[in-house]
Amino acid sequence: MSTDTATQPVGRYAYDEVDRTFLSQRVAQFREQVGRRVAGDLSEDEFKPLRLMNGLYLQLHAYMLRVAVPYGMMGADQMRELAHIARTYDRDYGHFTTRQNIQFNWIRLEDTPDILERLAGVNMHAIQTSGNCIRNVTCDEFAGAAADELLDPRIHAEILRQWSTLHPEFSFLPRKFKIAISGSPHDRVAARFHDIGLVAHPGPNGRPVFDVFVGGGLGRTPIIGVHLCHDLPEEDLLAYLEAVVRVYNAYGRRDNMYKARIKILVQALGVEQFREKVDAEFAQMNRADYRLEPAIVEGIRARFGIPDLDAPADAAQKLDSDRKADARFDRWVRTNTHAHRHEGFISAVVSIKPDGGIPGDVTADQMDLIADLADEFSFGEIRVTHMQNVVLGHVRKDRLRDLWLRLDGAGLGTPNIGLVGDIIACPGLDYCALANARSIPIAQKLSARFANPELQENIGTLRINISGCINACGHHHAGHIGILGVDKRGEEFFQLTLGGSAENDVAIGQIIGPALPEDETVDAIARLIDTYLVLRNEGEAFIDTYRRLGAASFKDAVYAPA
Amino acid sequence: MGARAWTAHPFTAVEAVTGPLPEGISSEVDVRNNRRDMTGASVITANRLLDGRIVWLAPQGWSEVISQARVFDNAAVEDAIKQAKVAADAGTVVGIYGVQLDPEATKITPLTVRERIRAFGPTVHPDFAPVETPHVH
Amino acid sequence: MPLLENGHVTEDRWAQAIAGEALPAGAVIVPLERLEEGLARPKDAPLGVAIGPDVDVAVLRPALPRLGLVAVTFPSFRDGRAFTQARALREHLSFTGEIRATGTPLPDQYEFLLRCGVTTVQTDRAEDVAVWQQAHEIISIAYQPSVLHERPQGLGLRRFLATD
C-alpha cells in the first residue's frame, strides 16, 4: 500500500487495484442487468431500482445519468473525462447538482454501461446517486482549505462513502437517505437539513468526535434536524450510524412514500423514544465488528494527497496591489473568494451562474478549461459546491489575478457568489419528469434583471432558491427567498417563501401568500427586493431585515397591483 | 413552444392533487398522465426503452415527432391505450399514456405546459427541439 | 424456482403448515400465530417459523433454541425490512439455524441476502438458478462488515467475498 501522499490526488481518496476491480465488476453487473431488461426478463418496475442505484433516471426527454462526485471532490483528469462523456454521449454539457454531483440530461440506456466503464477508467461511478439507499455524502466545499476549519471532514466522508457502498442491509430503505459532514463551526453543509448531519471537531484525546443531528430535511415536510448525540467518539461512528439506519429500516413507514423519510419517524416517535431505540440497538451490537480504529482512519487518510502549500512571502502583498490596480478584479475577489488556512493561499469560487444563464450548467469546453486551470493553479483539485458552483481550493494569492483573467475571458468570472445572481435552481419542468413548473426560466430572468454587479453588491447577501415541485430539489424552504413551482390545471404558478436559511441560523421559510402566475413572479420578487432596500438599516442583510420586520412588511410589495 | 398565452382549463377528469411521484418507490402511474377531458382529442405517448426518447403513437409504430401522431377522439383513447400496452412492440417503450390536445391549436399541440415541453423540447434550449426525421421507428 | 442454498438448488425438507389442519409430524414451518402449537409438539420434531416483515425478531428469543428455521419475507423486493430481521437474528440473537427468504426478492439482491445472514431462498420468480448464481459471483469485494465475518482485506473495512 502506498502512503506517498505527495503523488496521490490532492483532496480525495486514491483508488487502488482492489477498488478498480470493484468498479469494473459493478459495471459488468449493470451491463448484465440492462441485458436482462432489454430481453424482457426484468420488468420496468423491477429494473427501475437497479438503474436508479446506478444513477440512471428516466426523465422527461431521455434518461438522465447522475455521476457521483464524492464529497464534491474531483480531479482535473476526471473533469476531462466528464467533458468527453458530454461530447460523446450527451449534448456537450452537464449540470452540477445541489448534492455536489454532476448529471447528464440526454443519455441513452444502451450507452450507459459503456459510459460507466469510461467513468470507472478514471475511478468514478454513479453508484447510489439515486434509489432508496444512502446517497452521496456531502461535505464542506472549503474542506481542508478553510481558515475556520477545525478538522478535515473528507477523510470520514470517504469512510462513510465506502461503508455505505452496496451496504447489504441498507440498499432498500423506506426512502432515500442523505448524510452531510462538516468540520467547521460555520455550517456550510446544511447539517440540520439532512437525514443525518455530522458536525466534527477534535475530541479530548486528539481523535475527532461528532455531533449527530437526525431527521432534518426539506421536501414536502420541511423539518430541522434534532440533536441526537453529543460528541460521539470516532471509534463508534459506524456502529452508531448502523444503529440509526437500522432503526429507520425497521420502523420507517413504507405504506406512504410521502411519510417514508426518517424525519417523519423521528417526529412520530419523538426524539426521546427514537434515541431510546437507537441506544438499545447500539447496546446490543457487536461493536468490535464495527469499531472504527484510528489505524483504519489513518490508512484511509494516507491515501489522500496533500497539497504542497508553498507561497512566496510577498504573495498576499502582490494580491493587495493587484486588487488596488483593477476594480473589476477587486470586486470578484470580494465576492468570489474564501479565506484559506495558509496566509499565502486563497480559495476561489468559479460561478456557474452567468447573468441570464442556466444555474449549474457547464459546457464540455468549460469543463476542459476548469480542468486546465485546476492543474495550473490548484494542484489539479476541483470541488463542486452544493450551491452548484465550482471551487479551486488552493490558489496562490500572487497568482489569483492570472486565474481570474483566464476565467473572465471564458465567461466564468461572474462576481455574484452569495448574491442575487447565485440562484440555486432544480432542472424543473424543462427536464424533470416530476416537476410541476419550470425553474430555470425564473432563475434566468432574475439573474438577468439583477445583472448589474454594483446593484448586486448593494443588495448584499441574498439566497434565492427555486424548486419546480414540492420535492424541493432547489431547497426553496432554505432560501432567504424561496420559490416553489406549483401546477394549477396544467398551468405554472409560483409560491414564495421568505426567511429560510440552511446555515447556523437555520430556519424554514414561510409562505407569504397565494401563488403567482409565471409572468408576475419576477416582478414581485423585484418589488420585494426594492422594499428591503427601503426598509433596511445600515449594513443589514435581507434576511435580518425580514427577521426584524416580519412578513407583513413585504406582503404588500409582493401582491401590489401590477 | 407556441407563443399563445396559456389560459386556465377546466379539466373534468381526475386531476393532480398530490403532486408527482419520485422514481423508485412506487409503480403507481403519475396521476398527471391520466387527466383528460370527457370530450376533445388525445394522442398517445411513451418513452422508448433503449434511448429514453419521447415517442408518439403514429399510424404505423412510434414516431419521435408529435406531428406524426395519430389523433384519437377521447371516447376512443382509453381502448387505444389498452391496445398499445399489449401490442407486439409494447416492450420497446416505457410508460404509455394519453395526452389531451389543445382544441384551439392549429397543429397537434398538447394542452398542458408539461406535455408541450415533452412535445417541443426544453424551453431553455430551443436548439434541442425534436426534429422531423423521414423514418418512423 | 426450486429452493436455493448458497447459489445451488437443494432439496426442501420442510413442510408448510396448512391452515385449518393439524401440524404434521415431521419438519414443519408454522406461521408466528401457531408457534405455541408448534412448540407443543415433541421436542425433537424440527420446527420453523415464518414471520412477517413487521415482526420484531426479539419476540422469537424464548423459542429460538427449539427453532431450526426462521422464514423472513419480501412482500415486494422494495421492502428491505427482512434484511434487518435476518441480521438481527444472527447478530443479536445468535441464531445459527436456517434463515429462509420468501416472497419476491430479486436475484440482484442475492448477495445482500447472504451477507445479512439468509441461507436459503424460496421464491416464485421465474429466473434460472444461474441468474442467482451469477448475482452471487459477480461482485467479489465489499466495503463493510457483515454477519458472515469476511476477513478484512487490509485497507479500511474492505474485504473479499467468498464466491463459491
Q: DSSP letter string over B28-67?
A: PPPGGGG---SSSEEEEEEEETTT--EEEE-SSSEESSGG
And the C-alpha cell for A368?
476542459
**Residue A147: other Cβ atoms inside 10 A:** 15
3-state secondary structure of A155: helix
- State how far the alpha carbon of A97 is from the alpha carbons of A66, A359, A430, in Å: 9, 9, 15
Give the per-residue pLDDT at A7. 77
Does C42 map to a domain?
Answer: yes
In 3D, which of A88, A66, A93 has the Cα closest to residue A358? A93
Which triple of cell numbers denotes residue A423? 440562484
Distance CA A301, CA A296 (A): 9
Angle at the Cα of B12 from the Cα atoms of B9 and B15, rounded to 5 degrees: 80
Residue C101 CA to residue C6 CA, distance in Å, equals 12
- Complex ipTM more than 0.85, yes or no: yes
The single-letter code of the amino acid at A357 is: G
**Is B16 among the domain residues?**
no
CA atoms within 13 A on the CB side of A114: 10
H or E element that contains A323:
helix A315-325
Residue environment code for C45-60, b if the CB has 16+ CB neighbours within 10 A, otherwise e: bbbbbbbebebebeeb
A504: helix, strand or coil: coil
Please give the Cα distance from A12 to A472 (Å, whole number): 29
Give the mean pLDDT of C98-110: 96
Contacts with A303 from chain C: Cβ below 8 Å: 155
pLDDT digits (tens, 9 = 90+) for A268-277: 999 999 999 9
The torsion angles phi and psi of B25, rounded to 5 degrees, stand at -115, -30
Q: Do C141 and A46 touch (CB under 8 A)?
A: no
Assess if residue C74 is contained within a domain: yes
Calculate the CA A249 to chain-centre distance.
25
Q: Across the interface, do B23 and A469 touch by the CB < 8 Å criterion? A: no
Q: For residues A518 and B71, what is the distance between their CA atoms, to the nearest angstrom? A: 30
CATH topology of domain A315-409: Sulfite Reductase Hemoprotein; domain 2 (3.90.480)
Minimal CA separation from A554 to chain B, in Å? 28
Is residue C84 less than 8 Å (CB to CB) from chain A? yes
Q: Is the dihedral of CA A97, A339, A178, C92 positive or negative?
A: positive
d(CA B24, CA B7): 33
Average pLDDT over residues C23-39: 96
Residues of chain A with pLDDT under 70: 1-6, 561-562
Let me know: does A72 contact A390? Beta carbons within 8 Å. no
| Backbone angles phi and psi of B43, in degrees to 5 | -115, 170
Range A424-558 has CATH code 1.10.10.10: no
State the total domains in chain B.
Answer: 1
Give the CATH number of the domain where residue C113 resides. Answer: 3.20.20.70
With CB atoms and an 8 Å threshold, state whether B53 touches A58. no
Nearest CA to CA, how far is B79 from chain A (Å)? 22
Residue B79 falls inside a structural domain? yes
Q: Which residues of A touch C (CB under 8 A)?
A: 1, 16, 18, 21-22, 25-26, 28-29, 32-33, 36, 41, 46, 49-50, 132, 159, 162-173, 238, 246, 249-250, 254, 284-286, 289-290, 296, 299-300, 303
Bridge partners, C29 (sequence order):
C16, C48
- Three-state secondary-structure class, residue B86: helix
Percentage of residues in chain B having pLDDT higher than 90: 66
Pick the CATH number of A17-121 from 3.10.520.10, 3.10.310.10, 3.90.480.20, 1.10.150.530: 3.90.480.20
The angle that helices A400-409 and A364-377 make with each other, rounded to 10 degrees, is 170
Do the domain assignments include residue C159?
A: no
Interchain pair C111, A284: CB under 8 A: no
CA gyration radius, chain A:
23
Cell of A320: 493587495
Contacts of A62 in chain B (CB under 8 A): 47, 51-53
Place of cell 410541476: A436
Q: How far apart are CA B97 and CA B99, in angstroms?
A: 7
Domain assignment present for residue B20? The answer is no
Q: Closest Cα partner for C146 from A238, A502, A174? A: A238
Give the structural domain span for C25.
4-138
Give the pLDDT confidence score for residue C164 in this predicted structure.
59
pLDDT of residue B19: 45
Q: If 0-12 CB within 10 Å is exposed, 13-18 middle and 19+ buried, where does residue A561 land?
A: exposed
Q: How far is CA C121 from CA A25, A525, B136, C73, C74, in A?
A: 24, 58, 45, 10, 11
Q: Which amino acid is at B29?
A: V
Give residue B11's pLDDT.
39
Chain A residues within an 8 Å CB radius of B21: 257, 434
Flag whether B12 is in a domain.
Answer: no
- Chains with 3 or more CB pairs under 8 A to chain C: A
State the best of B18, B23, B51, B86 to mutate against chain A, taking most chain A CBs within 10 Å. B23
Q: Please identify every stretch of chain B with a pLDDT value under 70, giving residue numbers as ranges.
A: 1-31, 34, 132-137
| Total count of domains within chain C | 1
Helix (H) or strand (E) run with residue A442 in it: helix A440-449
Across the A/B interface, how many CB contacts are shorter than 8 Å? 126
Q: Given an 8 Å threshold on Cβ–Cβ distance, is C138 in contact with A50?
A: no
* Strands A491-498 and A516-517, bridge-based pairing: antiparallel
Q: What angle is formed at CA A96 by the lines to CA A467 and CA A211, rounded to 5 degrees?
A: 80
The cell for C144 is 463493510
Q: Is A249 in contact with C134 (Cβ distance < 8 A)?
A: no
Topology agreement, domain A138-301 and domain A424-558: yes
Distance of residue B76 Cα from the nearest chain A Cα, in angstroms: 22
Report chain A residues whose CB lies below 8 A from the CB of B117: 60, 429-430, 438
Kindly indicate the confidence band of residue C94, based on its pLDDT and cuts at 50, 70 and 90: very high
Average pLDDT for residues C18-40, to the nearest whole number? 96
Contacts of A87 (CB under 8 A, 6+ apart): A364
| Interface contact B20-A471, CB threshold 8 A | yes
What's chain C's average pLDDT? 94
- Taking the Cβ of residue C130 and every Cβ of chain A, the question of whether any pair is shorter than 8 Å is answered with no
Name the residue among B53, B94, B125 with its Cβ closest to that of A44.
Answer: B94
What are the φ/ψ torsions at residue A549 (nearest 5 degrees)? -100, -25
- Contact present, B44 and B84 (Cβ < 8 Å): yes
**Chain B interface, mutation test: which of A36, A109, A177, A444, most B Cβ atoms within 10 Å?**
A109
CATH of A138-301, one of 1.10.3720.10, 1.20.1250.20, 3.30.360.10, 3.30.413.10: 3.30.413.10
Interface of B with A (CB under 8 A): 6-11, 15-16, 18-27, 30, 32, 35, 47, 49-54, 91, 94-95, 111-114, 117-118, 121-125, 128
Residues of C in contact with A256 (CB under 8 A): none
Share of chain C above pLDDT 90, in %: 88
Question: Which distant-in-sequence residues (6+ apart) come within 8 Å of A60 by Cβ?
Answer: A429, A430, A431, A432, A433, B54, B114, B117, B118
Q: Is residue B98 part of a domain?
A: yes
Distance CA A469, CA C94 (A): 47
Which residues does chain B have within 8 Å of residue A60's beta carbon, measured at their own beta carbons? 54, 114, 117-118
DSSP state of A24: H
Q: Which of A452, A459, A469, A473 minimizes the C-alpha distance to A525?
A: A459
Task: Name the strand (E) or helix (H) holding A464.
Answer: strand A464-467
Q: A458-481: buried (b, 16+ CB within 10 Å) or exposed (e) per residue?
A: ebbebbbbbbbbbbbbbbbbbbbb
**Biggest CA-to-CA distance, chain B:** 40
Beta bridge partners of A229: A212
